[in-house]
Each structure stands twice: as C-alpha cells, then as structure tokens.
Structure 1
Amino acid sequence: MPIKEHIAQAVKTAMLAKDNQTRDTLRLLQAAVKQREVDERIELDDAGVVAVLDKLVKQRKDSIAAFAQAGRQDLVEQEQAELAVLQTYLPERLSSEAVVAAVQAIVTELGAQGPGDMGKVMGAAKAQLAGKADMGQVSAAVKAALSR
C-alpha cells in the first residue's frame, strides 16, 4: 500500500479512536504533501512523500532544540509527540556502517579527493541515499571520507 493511502487510513483510525494528537499530526503531514503536489503540479510517489516526511521530521528536531533552549518544556513535549508520530511513517534507515560503506563506494566511483569534491559526492549520495538514510549522517560520512 502506498504511504499516502496508509496515512489516510491512519487518519481515519485516529479519528475513530479520538486520538487528537495523531490525527492532527497526520493531517499536517497530508497538508504538506498536498501543498508540494500543488506547488510542483505533480503526484508524489512514495519517495516524494518520504522527502516531505524527512523535512517535517527535521523541522520538529530543530524546534525541539530551540524550545528546549528557550525553556519551553510544554512546546518541547508537543513537538516530541509529533516527531514520534511522523517517525512511524518513515521507512527503516540504513545503519551508520552501511552509510559509511555507501559513501566510500561513491567516493571511489567518482574518484573524489579532498574537500573540494564534496559537492560532487553529496549530489551523487543524495541521489542514491535520499529517503534511505539521514542526510546529516551522510554529510558527516562524506566529510570524513574526503578528509583522509
């Protein structure tokens, strides 16, 4: 079942269970997906939905850090609850070892050497690993691989 259909089913289930937190978070996700579809005039596939999910997860993590620094524990808890709901719809991520191995293979394939080739390697890594790995982790692995 496509992720979009799975999310729509989950919204209905949350409504029947009167789980307002899950319902509201999933509706926010549906709205973000629909907005991207309207903006780009396309129908998002699973990879596109995962990209939207990644963006929303990153926003939640950034918000949690900002709210924690500001001492707003009530908002931190709300963002953490939303983050937990969103993360259930992300596909399983590659392990850090698998990310390092994939990055090393890309570096070898491209013949990249030194930090000047980071853009070239990141472009290839993003095409290959988007939706499968945390891109922050990929970026750190690329920096480590190119600094040797």
Structure 2
Amino acid sequence: MEYRFVPFDDQPWHEIIPGLFMGGHFRNDSGGLLPVIVADEFDVVISMIRLDGHGPGTSAVHHACHVPDGQLTPAEMAEVRAMSDLAAEAVRSGQKVLIRCRAGYNRSGLVVAQTLLLLGYGLDEAINLVRTKRSSFALHNPYFVEYLNAGT
C-alpha cells in the first residue's frame, strides 16, 4: 500500500484499550484536512513528530520526538522503545495516554503495538487491536511490522 493513497481518518483518535489512545496530528473532513489540537483530554501525550500548535494543553505531560515513517536507525528504534516504556508505565498507573503521529497510522501504530506488548498482549493481538480499533490502514509500513516481529 502506498502512503500517498492512504486517506487520513475522520476521527482525531481512537481508544485501543482502556486508557490507551492512538491518533494523528490531522484528520480528514469533507472540506479537507483539519489539524487535531489536543487540549486537556489526556494525562500523557506522546508525539512521534513535532508540530507547533497541536497541543497538548498545559495539564498534560508531553513527550515528543521525531521518528521517520520509513526504515529506522538503532537510535530511532531506541526512541520508539523509550516512548513505549513511558506509555506502558502511564497506562499501568491509570493515566489516559494518547500516542500520535501525522496521520495516526504508522509511527503511532508502532509505539502503540510495542506498548501493548509491554502490557502483556501477544504480537498478533497487538497488531490486530491497532488495525481494528484505529484503522485498517494502521501499520501499513512493512518495516514497522518487521520491527515488531523481530522484537524491536
């Protein structure tokens, strides 16, 4: 599946499991793409790209990094693991966590799936949850599925 043919979701985020949400910085609307601006809906927001003006509000803890939607270096994989560790710890403590990237499919999907693995879900179940709860377009980057299969 080629990235340029993947439509943005019409919802800003979806709950994957209780307390763990996956979304994007943009969403589709009948008039085109709209920015998703996070206010205070979440306790923790993890952004896999840095974009100004998308929140979150001041009450949320915000972790941001930039990981490309392609092959990752060992340092970028370490960022994915670190963000997944933060998310899993926050979910375990009862916090509401949003993990997001540009469209809310690949980079966020990789971190959400890795978080689910840390929370005790199996690999197939984690990938299936990401795709059924967020979008069938989630994790369409084959490198990211390979990373999950290899144990990131």
What is the TM-score normalised by the length of structure 2?
0.29
The TM-score with structure 1 as length reference comes to 0.30
Based on CA coordinates, which of the two structures has the bigger radius of gyration? 1
User: Quick check: which one's helix share is greater?
Assistant: 1
Higher relative contact order (CA 8 A, sep 6+): 2
